[in-house]
């Protein structure tokens, strides 16, 4: 933990020893005699809440050192120590480099302690704000994703199915922002909320759409992108979503001049993962699905397509099980659509391929209590839940699910 950790960087060993004696009862304090040694300490022992550096040191001076600290540890509070002769230069550096404070030598102990106390308070405020923003962001994504699972179960099923492929492809191609790409995958079908179920049923059954239906469907990425763009820090995610249907050669939606590597990396990953899932839903084998994608010249980034091929070859088959509603667990993946009979009408409440979350498990259990869901439920278990094997029912040899209402 960075909270309470300080790094002192100075080539004056006596000064370092003095500072360390003054601070050791209050803070965990590390020392370094050069800027290079300080950077090594950050790599090995960091992160630090606060770093104090002398200005004049052999090799790299304190201003340049703290500039590098800002690159590798932007949340760390930075303080510079300087002699009177360098004050004007140091003040300019503080103003231009966003340093927290400037202390002059010799620095009285009470001044040093006061500056460190203020610096620690600044670090705490910055991290509280960062944590609040991150939790708010994660909460917003979770709410949108789980609302999608309830309102449009087929759309949520697709996002659950493509997520493993998206994660593995991101890893292979060294995606610099994998969390953004995963977020785009979770929300890429958010625009489905405005599409009539009749259009989604035709798409699911592979039937051609009428021109006005196709136009409505083609607008769903842009609508989702527009909704996401209003959430702070998700501007790049919204671009990935907007370009999820864009061909590598520049064709497709949106109709503009963006092509090739100018298409956001996350969008290129989504294009491959979504179309691969579409092939699997047509009952193609994994090799045949990849071969079908390769035949579509110019549609996909060849590096992304190769990454998919490599990762599919390494995938482990999931273990099928059939469990009662009460034994559904977070992380299980539905291997069937879940239907209920509502006033004589068959209604789908969750689609095949949906990865269960705490909310969706509770949702299914609540529906089961009031309406009833046919058991057992077929699932895949990527990680074996801690349940009694005696409670797991074998998968029936043949089970015909109710037909979806037309």
- State yes or no: pLDDT of 361 exceeds 70: yes
Going by C-alpha positions, the residue among 23, 72, 25 that lies closest to residue 52 is 23
* SS3 assignment, position 6: strand
Q: Are 10 and 28 contained in the same domain?
A: yes
Comparing 8-17, 141-150, 224-233, 379-388, which segment has the lowest mean pLDDT? 379-388
Q: Are 12 and 100 contained in the same domain?
A: yes
Classify residue 396: in a domain, yes or no: no
- State yes or no: pLDDT of 259 exceeds 90: yes
Q: Are 258 and 334 contained in the same domain?
A: no
* Helix (H) or strand (E) run with residue 368 in it: helix 358-370
Q: Are 62 and 86 contained in the same domain?
A: yes
pLDDT top residue among 164 and 314: 164
Domain count, the chain: 3
Q: Are 79 and 15 contained in the same domain?
A: yes
Mark which of 94, 128, 162 sits at the end of a domain: 128
Q: Are 95 and 205 contained in the same domain?
A: no
Mark which of 299, 315, 331 sits at the end of a domain: 315
Q: Which domain holds residue 58?
A: 5-128
How far apart, in Å, do the first and last CA atoms of the chain sit?
57
Structure confidence at residue 84 (pLDDT): 65
Packing angle of the helix pair 178-187, 153-172 (nearest 10 deg) = 160
Q: Are 295 and 331 contained in the same domain?
A: no
Classify residue 142: in a domain, yes or no: no
Region 87-104: mean pLDDT is 75
Structure confidence at residue 96 (pLDDT): 62
Q: Report the distance separating Cα 312 and Cα 83, nearest Å.
A: 61
Model confidence band, residue 143 (pLDDT cutoffs 50, 70, 90): confident
- State yes or no: pLDDT of 405 exceeds 70: no
- State yes or no: pLDDT of 294 exceeds 90: yes
Classify residue 401: in a domain, yes or no: no
Structure confidence at residue 238 (pLDDT): 93
Here the tokens at position 392 are 């797991």
Torsion of CA 206, 208, 212, 215, to 10 degrees: 60
Q: Are 301 and 159 contained in the same domain?
A: yes
Structure confidence at residue 398 (pLDDT): 43
Model confidence band, residue 296 (pLDDT cutoffs 50, 70, 90): very high
Classify residue 373: in a domain, yes or no: yes
Rg (CA), the chain: 28
Residue 41: φ, ψ to 5°: -65, -40
Region 85-93: mean pLDDT is 68
Q: Which long-range contacts (CB under 8 A, 24 or more apart) does 331-335 make?
A: 331/355, 331/356, 331/382, 331/383, 331/385, 332/356, 332/379, 332/380, 332/381, 332/382, 332/385, 333/160, 333/161, 333/379, 333/380, 333/382, 334/157, 334/377, 334/378, 334/379, 335/378, 335/379, 335/380
Q: Are 309 and 169 contained in the same domain?
A: yes
Mean pLDDT of the chain: 82
Going from the C-alpha of 89 to that of each of 58, 85, 371, the distances in angstroms are: 17, 9, 75
| Residue 27 CA to its chain's centroid (Å) | 34
Structure confidence at residue 271 (pLDDT): 95
Mark which of 270, 295, 315 sits at the end of a domain: 315
Domain CATH number, residue 258: 1.10.3210.10
Classify residue 404: in a domain, yes or no: no
Q: Are 265 and 239 contained in the same domain?
A: yes
- State yes or no: pLDDT of 395 exceeds 60: no
Structure confidence at residue 401 (pLDDT): 42
Handedness of CA 197, 203, 204, 208 (dihedral sign): positive
* Burial of 9 (C-beta count, 10 Å sphere; 0-12/13-18/19+): buried
Q: Report the distance separating Cα 365 and Cα 381, nearest Å.
A: 18
Classify residue 201: in a domain, yes or no: yes
pTM beyond 0.85: the answer is no
- State yes or no: pLDDT of 400 exceeds 50: no
Classify residue 143: in a domain, yes or no: no
At a CB cut-off of 8 Å and minimum separation 6, what does 376 contact?
A: 322, 323, 324, 393, 395
Q: Are 289 and 359 contained in the same domain?
A: no
Domain CATH number, residue 50: 3.40.50.2300
Tens-digit pLDDT profile for residues 38-57? 999 999 988 899 999 998 88
Going by C-alpha positions, the residue among 305, 353, 295, 362 that lies closest to residue 164 is 353
Q: Please, where are the H alpha helices in 98-234?
A: 109-151, 153-172, 178-187, 197-204, 211-218, 220-228
Q: Are 238 and 343 contained in the same domain?
A: no
Q: Report the distance separating Cα 184 and Cα 265, nearest Å.
A: 11
Classify residue 146: in a domain, yes or no: no
Tens-digit pLDDT profile for residues 187-203? 888 888 888 878 877 87
């Amino acid at each position: 933990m960075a909270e309470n950790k300080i790094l002192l960087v100075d080539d004056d060993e006596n000064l370092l020893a003095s500072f360390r004696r003054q601070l050791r009862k209050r803070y965990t304090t590390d020392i370094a005699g050069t800027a290079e040694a300080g950077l090594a300490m950050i790599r090995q022992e960091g992160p630090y809440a606060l770093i104090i550096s002398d200005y004049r040191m052999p090799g790299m001076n304190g201003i340049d050192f703290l500039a590098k600290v800002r690159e590798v540890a932007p949340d760390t509070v930075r303080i510079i120590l300087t002699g009177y002769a360098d004050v004007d230069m140091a003040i300019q550096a503080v103003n231009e480099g966003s340093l927290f404070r400037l202390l002059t030598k010799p620095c009285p102990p009470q001044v040093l302690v006061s500056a460190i106390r203020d610096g620690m308070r600044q670090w705490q405020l910055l991290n509280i704000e960062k944590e609040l923003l991150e939790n708010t962001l994660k909460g917003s994504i979770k709410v949108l994703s789980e609302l999608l699972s309830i309102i449009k179960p087929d759309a949520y099923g697709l996002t659950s199915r493509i997520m493993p492929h998206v994660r593995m492809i991101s890893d292979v191609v060294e995606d610099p922002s994998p969390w953004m790409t995963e977020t785009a995958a979770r929300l890429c079908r958010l625009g489905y909320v405005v599409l009539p179920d009749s259009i989604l049923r035709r798409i699911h059954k592979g039937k051609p759409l009428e021109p006005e239906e196709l136009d409505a469907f083609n607008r769903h990425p842009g609508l989702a992108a527009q909704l996401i763009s209003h959430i702070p820090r998700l501007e790049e995610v919204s671009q990935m979503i907007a370009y999820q249907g864009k061909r590598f050669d520049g064709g497709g939606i949106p109709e503009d001049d963006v092509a090739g590597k100018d298409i956001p990396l996350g969008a290129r990953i989504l294009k491959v993962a979504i179309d691969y899932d579409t092939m699997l839903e047509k009952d193609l084998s994994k090799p045949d699905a990849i071969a079908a994608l390769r035949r579509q010249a110019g549609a996909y980034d060849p590096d992304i397509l190769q990454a998919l091929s490599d990762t599919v070859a390494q995938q482990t088959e999931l273990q099928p099980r059939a469990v009662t509603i009460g034994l559904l667990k977070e992380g299980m993946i539905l291997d069937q659509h879940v239907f209920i009979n509502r006033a004589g009408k068959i209604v789908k409440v969750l689609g095949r391929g949906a990865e269960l979350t705490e909310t969706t498990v509770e949702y299914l259990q609540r529906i089961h209590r009031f309406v009833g869901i046919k058991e057992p439920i077929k699932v895949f278990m990527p990680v074996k839940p801690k349940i009694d094997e005696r409670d797991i029912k074998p998968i029936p040899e043949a089970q015909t699910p109710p037909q979806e209402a037309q």
